[in-house]
Chain A
Amino acid sequence: MYKIIRKKALNPTVTLMEVDAPLVARKAEPGQFIILRANAEGERIPLTIAGYDREKGTITIIFQIVGGATETLNSLSEGDYIADFVGPLGKATETEGLKKVAVVGGGVGCAIAFPIAKKLHEIGCEVHSIVGFRSEDLIILEDEFKEVSDKYVLMTDDGSAGEKGLVTNALEKLIEAGENYDEVITIGPLIMMKFVTLLTKKYNVKTVVSMNPIMVDGTGMCGGCRLTVGGKTKFACVDGPDFDGFEVDFDEAMARSATYKPFEQKAREEACNLFRMEVK
């Protein structure tokens, strides 16, 4: 059992939790993830390690409430226990030798991007963070990003904060203005990462994407997380989650991520009904 030390709502649908998991905290690196089950009946879901404190033995996760499992997780409070919490899984993001990087995050993907931006900053790399949200009320980690970024560009779909537009607009502007990045690291919805790579391909800037397919075990045992990268099948949980964005078959990944749409819809409705009954 893994105790929730701290819980904080970052916006109406995104929650941060700091969880007591000393064995995971000993080894965690930016880019890696954990798999948890909120309770004994829960689904196994992967979440990125958004932060770690080796001394306290804690791991921070930041998750968006999108369906049944994240709904259940969010129903737990400080002091409660998470049934299962395993990690750190996947490969850490490679940061060695990088001098200037654009970190492009979308929505809750910013939670995954942040520890990478922080690590890059710590090793002395110049970090340009470009983050995008649908609207102002959904913005997360603004101060944290600013602290580790040499440049911070905020985009919103509706223009309610920062500049109006997409992260790709901002990235293109920076590249056009002569910023020479060693690498672009992008994390967010599949469709966003696809368009970021289409753009960077045009300018031939190496681009790393963090893939988040549906997972079960996270150790290479089920093959459910498989993707096509450079024409070869890869397991995101052990070979990734970071991949060369130019090589990833995004259309296939998007199709695969929709495998359980009807089931998820039903689970979501059940969770909502339960919530409504409790409110009554």
Chain B
Amino acid sequence: METPNMSLVKNKMPSQEPDVRNKNFDEVALGYTAEMAIDEAKRCLHCKHRPCVSGCPVQIDIPEFIEEVKNGRFEEAYQIISRSSSLPAVCGRVCPQESQCEQKCVRGIKGEPVAIGRLERFVADYHNANVTEAPEKPASNGHKVAIIGSGPSGLACAGDLAKKGYDVTIYEALHVAGGVLAYGIPEFRLPKSIVQKEIDGLKALGVKVETNVVVGKTISIDELKEEFGYETVFIGSGAGLPKFMNIPGENLNGVYSANEFLTRINLMKAYLPDSKTPIMRPKSAVIVGGGNVAMDAARCAKRLGADVTIVYRRTKDELPARAEEVEHAEEEGIKFAFLNSPVEVIGENGWVKAVKCQQMELSEPDESGRRRPVAVEGKFNEIECDCMIMSIGTSPNPLIKSTTEGLDTEKWGGIVADEATGLTSRDGVYAGGDAVTGAATVILAMGAGKVAAKAMDEYMQGLK
């Protein structure tokens, strides 16, 4: 066996320069070349106990695919990944690798882990660029399946069932398919052409995509089953309802939910000069929150020309966003105001003028070892801005629950579904992704779609 590449650091990802990219919406990370990928693949030690695999929510055969990359057999590597994942070009870009596969990588004990995510992305991009033959449309088995929502959970569920010959129709409320991948995650992180390619791939398998259908309004789950003859239904409707803070001044002009701001930019392409959809081009923007959504909103505002500050009530160590996004945001000149919690939006003539924040500090660790932020009595900051974007979380939309009798949900709105099968409290109705877990990750949503597809297949085969 040849000696591995013992470099302590990952091959660097070629990227647009921070000062250039913070003014455009083109993809930031440009991707490995074949040479870089092979060199990085050589860092893998092919550990017998495969710790990295246990860190991946869908258990991709990581050492095996990396072995193929090392040997320059990129399409073979793709085939290995696609046994477990239906969206490698997406997950390779957006997975929080540092807390999943790469966290478990033994190379990470001393130095940086193997760049598993970047390799996955490389392999998927290679496949997309070089393999053009359309997948063969399988013979129909005559069973009808309806999927609600076209996010990663719905797409994965649809793909697996279509490959087995099911007659699958996706119903999507918006005019574009892709869920958060289309309306939330910005172009510079996930080019929309990649999402479109996945959807085109499903269509080639015979999946029908009906946009502009709001299940619960246009049509109900009961009608889908009883009148339209769908034997099973998968609910992958996500967690799209934005939370606000309920503080004074929140309805002033210039205050957005991250969902609205990002939807206008991504779905409606409001950043393009000839777009018909208006977007505010802020001078200075305050983003509230610390997750991926906050980073995306911040970096979009920056690209529209704003001076941007992210306000977060804990410290940098607690930021829930992917490490790479935080790093990219910092490089692009985005400021952070840690240990601040907004208590009031101050307005002038109906528009935001400043955000008043309560200063916070971290408490001593409690029994769970968590340090909670607590207010520092009497200490406030005012940050001037003309735009404020709330990125403090989302919850599942109550629309489907309220129009589907007998569908059990948690108090906070999540649909109750069996973890092993995705089965809900309704016969033949399955659910997965953010609609069940609350806002989580692409890979978990995708995994849930696959789990449900398997159970739905078994159920329908039992039906005759």
Q: Do A and B come from one complex?
A: yes
Chain A residues engaging chain B, CB cutoff 8 angstroms: 23-24, 26-27, 37, 41-44, 68-69, 72, 83-89, 216-217, 219-224, 226-228, 233, 238, 252, 255-256, 258-260, 263-264, 267
Interface residues in B345-398 (C-beta closer than 8 Å to A): 350, 397-398
Q: Are B175 and A44 in contact (CB under 8 A)?
A: yes
Q: Please indicate the chain B residues that have their CB under 8 angstroms from the CB of A233 in the complex.
A: 244, 246, 250-251
Partner of B217, one of A68, A89, A259: A89
Contact between A255 and B350, CB atoms less than 8 A apart: yes
B276→A267 contact, CB < 8 A? yes
Q: Which residues of B contact A256 (CB under 8 A)?
A: 251, 253, 350
Neighbour of B175 across the interface among A26, A84, A259, CB < 8 A: A84
> Could you show 8 A-B contacts with beta carbons less than 8 Å apart?
A24-B218, A41-B274, A42-B276, A85-B212, A89-B214, A89-B217, A220-B398, A255-B252
Q: Is B278 positioned at the interface, with any CB of A under 8 Å from its CB? A: yes
CB distance from A224 to the nearest CB of B (A): 5
**Min CB gap B190→A, angstroms:** 19
Q: Which of B213-262 contact A (CB under 8 A)?
A: 213-214, 217-219, 240-242, 244, 246, 250-254, 256-257, 259-260
Q: Determine the residue in chain B with the shortest Cβ distance to A21.
A: B212
Inter-chain CA distance A227–B275, complex, in Å, is 26
A223 lies within 8 A of B253 (CB): no
Q: How many A-B residue pairs have CB under 8 A?
A: 105
Asked if A23 and B219 sit within 8 Å, CB to CB, the answer is: yes
Return the 3 tightest CB-CB contacts between A and B, nearest first. Answer: A255-B350, A222-B260, A263-B278
Residues of chain B contacted by A258 (CB below 8 angstroms): 253, 350
Partner of A23, one of B218, B277, B278: B218
A42 and B274 alpha carbons, distance in the complex (Å): 11
Contact (Cβ within 8 A) B251 A264: no
B213 touches A86 (CB 8 A): yes
Contact A223 B217 (CB under 8 A): no
B211 within 8 A of A: yes
Classify the interface of chain A: helix, strand, loop or mixed. mixed
Contact check, A221 vs B350: say whether CB atoms are below 8 A apart.
no
| Cβ-closest chain B residue relative to A260 | B278
How far apart are the CA atoms of A27 and B250 in the complex, in Å? 35
- Residues of chain B touching chain A, judged by Cβ–Cβ distance below 8 Å, are 173-175, 211-214, 217-219, 240-242, 244, 246, 250-254, 256-257, 259-260, 263-264, 268, 274-278, 280, 350, 397-399
Q: Which residues of B contact A227 (CB under 8 A)?
A: 251
Interchain CB contact (< 8 A) of B241 among A26, A88, A89, A220: A220
B-chain residues with CB within 8 Å of residue A222 when the two chains form the complex: 242, 257, 259-260, 263
User: In the complex, what distance in Å separates the CA atom of A43 from the CA atom of B276?
Assistant: 5
Partner of A216 from B241, B260, B397 at Cβ < 8 Å: B260
- For B241, the chain A residues whose CB sits under 8 A away are 220-221
Q: In the complex, are the beta carbons of B260 and A224 less than 8 A apart? A: yes
Closest partner residue, chain A, to B394 (CB atom): A221
Partner of B276, one of A41, A84, A226, A252: A41
A221-B240, A221-B241, A223-B242 known; A86+B263 contact, CB < 8 A: no
Flag if A252 contacts B174 (CB, 8 Å).
Answer: no
